[in-house]
Each structure stands twice: as C-alpha cells, then as structure tokens.
Chain A
Amino acid sequence: MEKLFQQLNKAIMDSLQEGEYLSLGYGGENSNFTRINAAKVRQIGNVDEADLTFNFILNGRRCSGGISLSGDAEEDLNRSLTELGRLRAEVVQLPEDPYLVLPDSTDTSTNVKHGDLPDSEEIPAKLLPAMGSADLTGIWASGRIYQGSANSAGGYHWFATDSFSLDYSLITPAEKMVKATFAGTHWDQEAYTGFLADSVNKLKLMSLPPRKIEPGSYRTYIASAGISDILSMFSWGGVSEAAIRQSESCLGKMRNESKKLSELFTLSEDFSSGFAPRFNGNGEVAPEKTVLIDKGELINTLVSSRTAKEYNIESNYASGDEGLRAPVMRAGSLKEADVLKALGTGVYLSNLHYLNWSDMIGGRITGMTRYACFWVEDGEIVAPIENMRFDDSIYSFLGENLEQVTDTTHVNPDVGTYDGRELNAVICPGVLLKSFALTL
C-alpha cells in the first residue's frame, strides 16, 4: 500500500505546474467485520478499500476532491490525473479564499506497527465457542488501517497499524445488560476467554430485581466509559477555536464570561499513547501534548492553521474540524475500590447513551443511562436501575458538583466505523458528583 501511495505521490507532484500547491491524503483499510447476535453470526464480510484525497491551491483559491483507488497503479494514476484536471478547471471559477494556508510542512515520518491477527476465516471459530450459552450481541472488527499524507513542499507521512476489537453487550433474560470491549493488536486466545468470563461474572450483578427511581437530583458516580462519552461532546461545539469564535461552543462562557469548571477537571490533547497519528490532513504534526482545560480553566483550544490565519493567532496543528484526536482527562485521588463508599447513597452509572446538547451555548447535555447502572445505599449496590434520562450542564456537574475524580484512567477505544475504522481512544478516569439531574 505504501508503495502505491509513494508512486502516486511522485507522479502527481511531478505533474504540478507553476503556482500550483497540493496536499494528498491516503486512507485505507483491509478489514473483517463479524456481526454477532445471540452468540451466533448474523453477518460476516471483508472490506478492502482505499481512497486518495486532494487539496488543491492555485492563485489564492482552493478546492478539494477525493477518489477511490483500485489498487492498480496505472488505473489509479489515470484516475488521479483526471481528478487533478477537474480541480484545475474548478479552482479558477471560485472566489479567493483569504484563509487558505499553503502546504509548507517538510516533516516526514513512517510509523508501521505490525500485530498478530487471526485470519478472517478463523474468526468465527476463535470467537464464538467461548461465548457458550451467553446472550452476546456485538461486532468484531480486525485488520490493517493505513493513513498517509504528502504535500507539494515535500512533506510525507505514513502510518499503518494492525488492530482488532470485539465490542459487545451481554444480556440477561430480564434484558439487563453489561458492555465491554476486548481490543488489541496481538490476538491471545487465553486472554480473550478470561476477559469474556469476567464480563459474564459482572452480568450476575444485573440479575438482582431492578429498582425504578424517580426523576430528581442524585449523588452520582459516572465510570470511565460514561465520562468518555461526555468528553467526546467537547469535539462538537467544544474545544474548537473556530467554534468558540463563531458562537457555536459550550466553552464560549469560559472564554467570554470567565466561567470555570472544577479544579479537579483537567483535559488535554495527548498523543503519547500512540493510538492515533500526530499528523493531520495537511501533514502538520501536532505537539505531543497540549493542555486545554487546566484545573478548570480554559488555557488552550484546538487551533487549525486555517483558523490561525483567520484570527491571526498561532496554530497547534489541529485537524480541520478542530476535534479531539487524543483526549486524556487527568486522574484524581479517589481509589476505585473506594468509589461505592464515597458515593454512599446514590446512583452508579457505568455507561451513557445518545448524548446531545440540549443547550450548547449553555453547556447543557442530555442523554440516557445505559447498561450496568445501579442504585447504591450506604456504599452497597442494592439494585440495577431502569434507564433514566439526564439533562444537566457541564458548568454544574463538571463545576461545583464535581466532588472527586478516581485515581485510575482507562482506555476507551473508539470502535466507530462510519468513515472507516477509527484509531482514536478516550483516556479518562471516573467521576463522583455531588448532584446530577435525572429528568425522565
């Protein structure tokens, strides 16, 4: 794959004319997807795909494009040159783009990580027998992911990694569920069997008769997986500098009205875990770590070079949408073993579901509790709860109502596959809240 990208890159860049600037992006994957329902195979298949994106600049004007690659070098070069012709014909018709940034990064990097994955045909036999009689529904995804970037200034990056994930729900006959993800780069059958047995054990807690709780404000613990969903909301009308400047961010109040979150809340963009590449679509390499919210104070945002040019500020080489690619929330001091005791009487939430801004500018998020969620009394789990809707502001629950943060961060891999398999992960601890608003 890298050879094809190198060949295309050279031929396309060689064909550029005076005054033309170009960035190329390569994305591809060879994946197996095995969809499981009731511990049986519902759907199975492989997908081999690759595409090449173009960001073309001439005379202060810019347009972009993308094509599918067939894997045949000659055919793909033809498609690429046709696409370049289309971009040339279009760019002269467009208005000038005052915020465009010429590709000038000459950085290069190659990062290829090899794993040890089962062959696609072996996957059903490796996964399913261990599930036994459990009612397990979920998705296995495995294979190689490729990302490349190159530009007319000579910048070049290549990233490839093997990975697998089995993201699943275990379900009791009374329809109570627990969720887990077994992910990695080297398949280990024994580790898998142990991991699965551990979640089957957790499911036993769910067989207690459920309790219905009334809407109201409760002392609440949200575990790492739930907090990872909250942190993902910061990528949508959150830490983007452009969103803040354009009145489309929940953090506008922090910038404009000196609002603060709790001193216990520190959020960074931190690539040191190595899940995602540091280069963006323009081939620019982000700093290894940027602290965004430091002890409750907004000290940095994600700034793309385009935003930097528009507002005359400095870029930190964020992606075009200025979303988090490597979010990490700092751990606190509450020992995980002491969570129930510290919670006392209240609600323990393992996972959240379907979050949305109910008032983005006000920082208010609504969503559902899901999976293993419990009513706790005097530090003891009493019963699983019926799913509840919450609706509360980050300025409350990550502000004055944030009581403690656990001392351990967990890796929550992004198992999303809308735009191909994701590489990112959210790394965060759990939080104990003095009060959290459950509304329905």
Chain B
Amino acid sequence: MDLQAILSSIDVKADWVGLRYVKENTGFRLVRDGKPEANTRESKQGIMVEVLVNGQFAYYGTSRLDSAGIQAAAERAVKLADAASKFSLHSFGVEARPVAKGSYRSPYQTPADAFSPGELSELLVKATSELKVSDKIVNTNAMARTVETESHFVSSNGSDVEQQYLMISADYSAIAHEGGVTQKRTDGGLLAKSYQAGMEVFNEADVLARCRNIGAEAVELLTADECPTGTMDLLLAPDQMMLQIHESVGHALEIDRILGDERNYAGWSFVRLDDFGKLQYGSDLMNITFDPFVENQFASYAYDDGGLKAEKEFLIKNGLLLRGLGGMESQLRSGINGVANFRASSWNRAPIDRMANLNLEAGDSSYDEIIGSVEKGVFMTSNRSWSIDDYRNKFQFGCEYGKLIENGKITRTVKNPNYRAISNPFWRSLKKVGNKDTFEIYGTPFCGKGEPNQIIRVGHASPLCLFDKVEIFGGA
C-alpha cells in the first residue's frame, strides 16, 4: 500500500493530516495437560486518519483501505475536529506532531516462520508433560503468543516512519493440589517473559528444564508454611519488581493522568505538575529510566505514534523526580519535560501517554551481600495479585513464591506471600539495589488504560531490590 500516494491524494481543509497504517498478526497457542486448547491467529489491519483543524485534533479509524474510503474518513474527521474546536481542552499547533523520518526493526535470531505450527504445538505438548512432575500436579498449561506488527506513519508535514516488530511471549504453569491446598506456579508471572525476539526463545532444552522447575516449585508450595505476618524486610525479585515499577512509578508519572484525562477511569496521580524537579520519590538508590534501546526488551522502538524520536531519559535520578511520562501533546499542555511515549494500541485508537520500557537501573550490591544484610525478611518472586488506588498510593501485591530470610540466610519456602504499602514511603525505604548480575528483563502485553480503552505492551527491567520495614502477610 502506497501510503504517501494516498496522503497526497487526500483533499481536505486541515492544518495537518496524518495517516497511520497498522497491520498486526497475533498467534496464540495453548496446550493444557498435553491437549490442544487453542491454536489461533488473528490478522488485524486498518488505518487511522488524523487531522488538525482550528487547534483541535480529530480522528477517523477505518478498516476500509481504498483511497475513496480514506478520503471519506478524512472528511468526517475534519467535520468532527471543526465541531469539537468550539470546546477544545487545549488548542494545539502542528508542533504537536514533530517531523519524523526513519525506521525500526526489532531484533531476532530465528524468524517466526522457522517453526511450523506443528513443531511449536509439539513443543508445548512436551512442556506440559515436563510440568507434571508428580501426581499432585492437577493442571498444566503451556502457551505461546507471537505478534508480528508493521506500522507506517506519514503526515502532511513530512513524517515517514516505518516500524516492524516480532514479539514473543510465553508462559508455562502448573497447579498442584493436595489435602485442600492448591498452589500455582508460572514462569515468572503470567506471560512475564515477553520479548522483542524470535523463535530462539523456544529453545527446547531450556524450556523443558524451566518446566520441571516450575512443576517442582508448585509441589513444594503445597507443604510450605504460610507467609508470616508482620513488618519486616522485603526482598523483591526482578519479576515482581516489574509490577512494582509499573503500578507505583509508571502510571503515577504519566503526564496525561496528572493533567486529569484519566480521572474517570484509571484515576489521577499523587504526583502533581509542580513536583517535577522537587519531589524525593524514593531513596537515593532509586534510578528510573525510560529506555527504548534495551536489546530484546518488549517495548523498544525508534519513534512514538506522534512522531517523536525515542531517547533514553532518567525520570528519577538518585530518588529525585526529574521528568514525566508524556509525549508532545502532554509536554505542550503541561510545560513539563517528557519522553517519546505517545502510543496507540492499534490503528483503531488515538495515541495517549503510555509506558514503554521503564526500568530501574542496576546498583552495586551483590546477591550474597543483600541476603546477608537481612535479619528477618521475605524474598518474593513472580506476581499473582495486584491492586492499587486511583492516585497510585495504597497498593497490595501478592506473589506466587516466597523464601524466608533469617539472620542473613535463606531458610525455608513460604506460600501466599503478600505485602501492602504506600508508594512514596515504600520507595524511600529502598535500602539495597542489586548489581548487574541480578538484573533481569521482563514485559507484559497487558497494560490497560484510556477511554476508549486500550491494551498495550510494556517492558520493565530491574535488579533485585530490598525494602525496609514493609507490612507482609499470608493467605486467607
């Protein structure tokens, strides 16, 4: 499809016109107890036509791809923008859509078609049989999600950006049951192993070894003690830090939330515009970056959907809040420095401020040094429950698997570990940050936000992190 030719043929009275074509193939395979549950592939495509008239943007998303359909969409969008411009929240100029020219291709070793549907399905069947390490395992699941996306953005002020992605998510899980106790273990939390990568992710020996371990830990949890209740040290593994960063840093720093756009849905934020440059968000060990260039991380890209070039930026440095998660529209509205994070879930939604790769930078403590420093605490791994208030203050998170730490040593496994706290005091209690050896990369395909609603992929990488005096408790 020649998007430039279509753009130049569009005849409407607008200050700016942009076209964003997206095609996405999503494959999903699920095997339960050796039997196929799902083998599906959705292929979605369409075009988002966006115009600027009298300072107001309006859009028309259509799955009609012929030039007559796109012309009609542009005409409707102009009428909408014109009608809405009498009630605009903010009057934008063309500078809200910077000129972008470039391309991006996600890295991979083995292309998607190197595995046939039959081969991938066979691997997942084997995975479920490895997960069943004993009769106590009553349910096994193996799933693979492959997403191939191409997007092409052109605009009347000269943007032309093509980006292509291959993204793989996989998960293997086992449920163990005995004597009224049920416990589940996954591969680091549901689909937490989400990467821009190729089919090399499905290395058989590696996958099957992980499955045996997942099965064994589910069985181990059946006889584990309940997580203790009390205020003590909390050590979080990188696969739980993913959720911790996402909920209590990422969403709180979205400038569109701070500006109130989300107050009817996801909520507001305890962070205010005048906090930037002043608020001590966490302890001085806390360094949070927006980093679109981490190899294989799930939400890397070169340009956001508004055409802003992606750069690595520190949002929080030595605990001090410096910069927000806001694209050009939010930066123009707020006057706060932001990043290239104006993203849409697909062709049928308008971009809003989203997380992409949002990471906690490695510190200098080794694993042994961190464990050795804990008199009494719990080490929690793999998220299973998450909830936080609409200002991103009061959170409660639960994990699949815990280890008790006593007098500088890991002593025994505990089940149903949970903790709750309030964002700022919690981050200020961060007392040790693991070094590069403890640093791991995760992601999720499922971050929800926006009205109309959008689900988008994000990446989070982190080392091990130790927090002081946290309220910890067990199950029902």
Contact = CB atoms under 8 A, between A and B. Distances in A.
Interface in B25-67: 32, 35-36, 38-46, 50, 56-66
B263 A64 contact: no
Interface stretch (A182-190, A386-394, A404-412, A425-433): A386-394
Contact of B44 (A68, A139, A175): A68
A124 B87 contact: yes
Interface string B262-288: 011101100000000000000000000
Interface in A229-271: 246-248, 252, 257
A68 B263 contact: no
A108 interface: no
A138 to B, nearest CB: 4
B118 A94 contact: yes
A300 interface: no
A289 B122 CA distance: 41
A70 B65 CA distance: 7
Interface stretch (A11-19, A30-38, A154-162, A339-347): A30-38
Interface band, chain A: 35 or more
A257 B418 CA distance: 25
Given A38-B89, A366-B396, A393-B476, A63 B40 contact: yes
Given A34-B84, A124-B86, A353-B267, A416 B139 contact: no
B372 interface: no
B87 A128 contact: yes
Interface in B389-414: 389-391, 394, 396, 398
A370 interface: yes
Interface in B371-393: 385-391
B79 interface: yes
Contacts of A68: 43-46, 63
A116 B39 CA distance: 41
Given A45-B58, A440-B420, A37 B390 contact: no
Nearest to A55: B40
Contacts of B422: 440
A121 B58 CA distance: 11
A261 B411 CA distance: 39
B80 interface: yes
Contact of B69 (A71, A99, A416): A71
Interface stretch (B8-16, B100-108, B175-183): B175-183
Interface in B442-475: 448, 451-455, 471, 475
Given A387-B389, A417-B451, A49 B63 contact: yes
A128 B56 CA distance: 15
A277 interface: no
B63 A71 contact: yes
B87 A41 contact: yes
Given A98-B35, A99-B35, A366 B387 contact: yes
B89 A41 contact: yes
A361 B184 CA distance: 10
A47 B350 CA distance: 10
Nearest to A33: B452
Interface stretch (A164-172, A198-206, A325-333, A375-383): A164-172
Interface in A117-159: 120-125, 128, 137-139, 141
A418 B73 CA distance: 22
Contacts of B58: 44-45
Contacts of A389: 387, 389, 394, 396, 420
Pairs A-B, 4 closest by C-beta atoms = A362-B476, A93-B118, A45-B59, A139-B451
24 contacts: A41-B89, A49-B61, A51-B44, A63-B39, A64-B38, A65-B41, A66-B42, A67-B42, A70-B65, A70-B66, A90-B39, A95-B125, A97-B35, A121-B79, A137-B260, A139-B451, A167-B264, A358-B418, A362-B475, A387-B389, A389-B394, A389-B396, A391-B396, A440-B422
Interface of A: 31-35, 37-38, 40-51, 53, 61-72, 83, 86, 90, 93-95, 97-99, 120-125, 128, 137-139, 141, 167-169, 171, 175, 177, 179, 246-248, 252, 257, 353-359, 361-364, 366-368, 370, 387-389, 391, 393, 416-418, 439-440
